[in-house]
């Protein structure tokens, strides 16, 4: 059974890496085509080199790119001792190093894990999440995020987020060209909206090739077993789903690139954000968790 489990995990990781490599190959090929169109063979060579440098930089900085997109800051144990206690207990049970903890000021309840592996992993919770969940639900959500870390799909998701953030960077940069103050509720406007229409589909292809919906089902199952309470995770998902619907984030260039990292989709399924949808239906996730707990429908 142990050998079979390791074989399945290796096969899943190989599939994830294959999707990521396909995304990288398409990005490099696209850059080469742009280089050819701009300056012939020499332009293609320069474009390929620049694409390779971009991939290396993204691999090294993907965690920081994702955390900065959510304005996250590191949180200390003195500030949130209960959060540290839960993460430390779950990490010990999962035989993982204790990840770095970050806090995002977003009111929307959500959480995500990022990093290149267990030793560099970080977990970010929003302030809204800490407000709406009780201890058992928070423990279950943290177990879900640690399941992403232990399954190593956090590497693929983080690099995909970094590549998508790099591709949509011109749209994010356009935000600073606005002449008036930005209205958080008005969504994308002007130049930023136009650039998202151009670069957004490219970034979405990168994310969709590298990230599968099955990873959330696997993390739900593994996280629920790690926390020891599938019902608590189901309850947390209900609250998070309601919170994301009520307090949906604006899908700007930086946030759409990291939306797939979160435990629930942080955007309304409309406009450019629809292209980045990678989460399975919440109802099906709840059904599977309740079945794991022994409930029948």
Mean pLDDT of the chain: 84
12 located within any domain: no
Judge whether 48 lies within some domain.
no
Question: Could you tell me if residue 32 is inside a domain?
Answer: no
Q: Catalytic: which of 145, 192, 214, 216?
A: 145
Looking at per-residue confidence, does 191 or 175 come out higher?
A: 191
In a domain, 99, yes or no: yes
**Inside any domain, residue 50:** no
For the chain, the domain total comes to 1
Q: How many residues are given for the chain?
A: 297
Q: Which of 22-36, 135-149, 268-282 has the lowest mean pLDDT?
A: 22-36
Is 89 a residue of the active site? no
- Which of the two residues, 259 and 187, has the higher pLDDT score? 259
Question: In this predicted structure, which of 84-93, 140-149, 170-179, 219-228 has the lowest mean pLDDT?
Answer: 170-179
pLDDT value at 222 more than 50: yes
Which one is predicted more confidently, 262 or 61? 262
Residue 104 lies in a domain: yes
In this structure, what CATH number is given to the domain that contains residue 153? 3.30.2010.10
Residue 83 lies in a domain: yes
Instruction: Give residue 252's domain range.
Output: 59-177+186-292
Q: What are 42-70's pLDDT values in tens digits?
A: 777 888 888 888 888 888 888 898 999 89
Residue 286 lies in a domain: yes
From the list 233, 46, 60, 43, the residue with the least C-alpha distance to 133 is 233
Phi and psi at residue 262, in whole multiples of 5°? -80, 160
Alpha carbon of residue 189 to chain centroid: 24
Rounded Cα–Cα distance for residues 77 and 84 (Å): 6
Q: Rounded to an integer, what distance in angstroms lies between the CA atom of residue 148 and that of residue 150?
A: 6
Predicted confidence (pLDDT) at residue 193 exceeds the cutoff of 90: no
Global confidence as pTM? 0.85
């Amino acid at each position: 059974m142990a050998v079979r489990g390791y074989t399945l995990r290796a096969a899943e990781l190989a599939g994830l890496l294959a999707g990521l490599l396909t995304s990288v190959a398409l990005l490099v090929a696209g850059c080469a085509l742009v280089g050819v169109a701009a300056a012939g063979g020499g332009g293609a060579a320069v474009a390929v080199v620049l694409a390779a440098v971009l991939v290396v930089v993204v691999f090294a900085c993907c965690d920081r790119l994702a955390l900065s997109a959510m304005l996250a800051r590191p949180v200390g144990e003195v500030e949130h001792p209960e959060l540290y206690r839960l993460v430390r207990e779950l990490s010990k049970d999962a035989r993982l190093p204790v990840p770095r903890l970050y806090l995002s000021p977003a009111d929307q309840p959500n959480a995500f894990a990022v990093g290149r592996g267990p030793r560099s992993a970080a977990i970010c919770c929003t302030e809204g999440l800490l407000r709406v969940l009780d201890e058992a639900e928070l423990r279950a959500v943290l177990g879900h995020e640690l399941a992403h870390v232990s399954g190593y799909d956090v590497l693929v998701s983080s690099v995909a987020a970094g590549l998508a953030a790099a591709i949509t960077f011109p749209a994010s940069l356009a935000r600073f060209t606005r002449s008036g103050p930005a209205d958080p509720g008005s969504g994308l406007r002007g130049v930023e909206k136009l650039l998202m229409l151009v670069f957004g589909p490219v970034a979405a292809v990168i994310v969709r090739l590298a990230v599968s919906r099955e990873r959330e089902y696997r993390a739900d199952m593994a996280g629920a077993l790690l926390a020891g309470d599938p019902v608590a995770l189901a309850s947390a998902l209900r609250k998070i789903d309601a919170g994301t619907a009520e307090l949906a984030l604006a899908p700007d260039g930086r946030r759409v690139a990291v939306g797939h990292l979160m435990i629930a989709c942080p955007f309304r399924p409309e406009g450019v954000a629809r292209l980045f949808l990678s989460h399975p239906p919440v109802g099906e996730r709840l059904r599977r968790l309740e079945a794991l707990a022994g409930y029948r429908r």
